[in-house]
Amino acid sequence: MGRKKLLEKFCNGCNRILPRSEFYERSNGEIVWCCKECSLKISKKYNKLNQEKIRETHRIALIRARENNPELYKNINKNWEEKNKERKKISCRASSKVQKAVKKGILIKPKECQMCKKTNCRIEASHSDYSKPLDVLWVCVSCHRKLDYKNPKTVKIYNNTNIDCGYV
The string of pLDDT tens digits covering residues 76-88 is 989 988 888 888 8
Burial class (CB within 10 angstroms; exposed 0-12, middle 13-18, buried 19+) of 127: buried
Please list the alpha-helical segments (H only) found in 4-140.
Answer: 36-49, 51-68, 70-83, 85-104
Each residue's pLDDT tens digit, 121-143: 999 999 888 888 899 999 999 99
From the list 22, 18, 20, 16, the residue with the least C-alpha distance to 3 is 20
State the DSSP string of 79-97.
HHHHHTHHHHHHHHHHHHH
Burial class (CB within 10 angstroms; exposed 0-12, middle 13-18, buried 19+) of 136: buried
Predicted confidence band at 155 (pLDDT cuts at 50, 70, 90)?
low
Each residue's pLDDT tens digit, 28-48: 989 999 999 999 999 999 999
